[in-house]
Amino acid sequence: MKKKPFIIGIVGLKNTGKTTLIINIIKILVKKKYNVSTIKHAHHEVQIDEPGRDSYQHRIAGAHQVILSTENKWALINSCKETPELEYLIKKFENTDIILVEGYKNSKIPKIEVRRYKKYDYKNEDIAENIIAISSDTKVSQNKIIFNSNDYDAVSNFIIKKHNEINCE
């Protein structure tokens, strides 16, 4: 039976350490032989095919999709008018054990919220639905699993446990 990837979001306010958390989780999971994939939602336009380059010219000419391929990597550039649904993007992955999603806070996937109480005033409400754990720089009393913001091993072990739970059904 093919294993299902465990999908978990990492959400939080701006500059709370979401990317730092994800990078450290990736390193730990890869060291433990998990295939990890990520989806990063950006709130601003990102240029991955530079003006003047052939792939840019293809897209500007009207190509619906362009694949840019090099010796060691490739990227699919999809010219769409709307942001694709998270489920559509998840289906693009192959041979993946764990998918870490940065952003997409309104999706229905389970999430870890990154909080920095030294920077923001939270009033103990979640910034998104389906928060199953919190990574915090301060002790928090909530009925959720709480991780110290620098305890990447604990967060990684939590994700591995969740991955194993969905694959034992």
User: For residue range 58-104, what is the model confidence (pLDDT) as tens digits?
Assistant: 888 888 888 888 889 888 887 776 777 899 889 989 899 999 999 88
Yes or no: say if 161 and 8 are a contact pair by the CB < 8 Å rule.
no
Residues 54 and 106 in one domain: no
Question: What domain count does the chain have?
Answer: 2
Q: Would you say residue 126 has pLDDT above 80?
A: no
3-state secondary structure of 39: strand
Pair of tokens at residue 51: 């003006």
Q: What is the pTM of this model?
A: 0.86
- According to the per-residue pLDDT averaged within each range, which of 31-40, 120-129, 142-151 is highest? 31-40
Residue with tokens 């998270």: 86
Q: Would you say residue 118 has pLDDT above 80?
A: yes
Assigned domain for 159 exists: yes
Residues 118 and 52 in one domain: no
Residues 140 and 157 in one domain: yes
Number of residues assigned to the chain: 169
Residue 88 domain boundaries: 6-41+83-166
Could you tell me which of 12, 39, 40 has the C-alpha nearest to residue 116?
12
